[in-house]
Amino acid sequence: MAKSKTALTSKEKVTGLIYVLSLFLFTTGICIYILFIYKSDYHFANGKKDALTKLERVRMFQAAQSDYFDKITSIDNGVSKINPDVNASYEKRELNYTIGEIKKISDDNKYDARFRIFGQVASFYEMKLFDRERLSASQKNIEKFKVELDNCRAGVETLKNN
Backbone φ, ψ for residue 112 (5° rounding)? -115, 120
pLDDT tens string 7-20: 778 888 899 999 99
CB 111 within 8 Å of CB 53? no
Which amino acid does the sequence have at 106? S
Please say if the pLDDT value at position 60 is more than 90. no
- State if pTM tops 0.85: no
